[in-house]
Amino acid sequence: MEAIVIPITLLISAATFLITVGGVWFVTQKRVRDLELKTLGHDKKFEQIITEIGGLRADMNAEIGGLRADMNAEISSLRTDMNAEISGVKVEIARMQGSVMVLSEKFDLFIQGRLIPAAPNVAAAGA
């Protein structure tokens, strides 16, 4: 049998190659693990931000609902006050129309000569 002789430089070269490939693999795996950890950290921060935004949205909706209720109550109050004012003005207009009608009838009677103005009370004016 013949002995297979492998030169020592070839063995050293093969060992160096394997060590280099192993080192590169180790460094690459460590870098991948570091990136995965960073990604997990970013995912947690993203979820926290989404949760905070949801809370802010709920607070904002509650505040808007409260403002809407206040506004509707104020509008209702103003509408009630306005209707009361309008009713008061209508009553006053009706009174004035009644007074105008009475005065108009008296003026018509006066023009027709059927109404004579009352004589002034001299005794009451002198006192």
What pLDDT, on a 0 to 100 scale, did the predictor assign at position 101? 95
What pLDDT, on a 0 to 100 scale, did the predictor assign at position 45? 94
| 111 and 117 Cβ atoms separated by less than 8 Å | no
What pLDDT, on a 0 to 100 scale, did the predictor assign at position 7? 80
What whole-number distance in Å separates Cα of residue 88 and Cα of residue 16? 106
Which is nearest to 115 in space by CA: 123, 105, 125?
105
Average pLDDT for runs of 10 along the chain of length 127: 70 85 86 92 94 93 95 96 95 95 90 77 61
What pLDDT, on a 0 to 100 scale, did the predictor assign at position 124? 60
What pLDDT, on a 0 to 100 scale, did the predictor assign at position 5? 66
What predicted TM-score, i.e. pTM, was given to this entire model? Answer: 0.47
What pLDDT, on a 0 to 100 scale, did the predictor assign at position 2? 62
What pLDDT, on a 0 to 100 scale, did the predictor assign at position 93? 95
What whole-number distance in Å separates Cα of residue 79 and Cα of residue 73? 10
| 83 and 90 Cβ atoms separated by less than 8 Å | no
Domain edges within the chain: 9-114
| 79 and 85 Cβ atoms separated by less than 8 Å | no
Q: Which residues contact 110 (CB under 8 A, 6 or more apart)?
A: 117
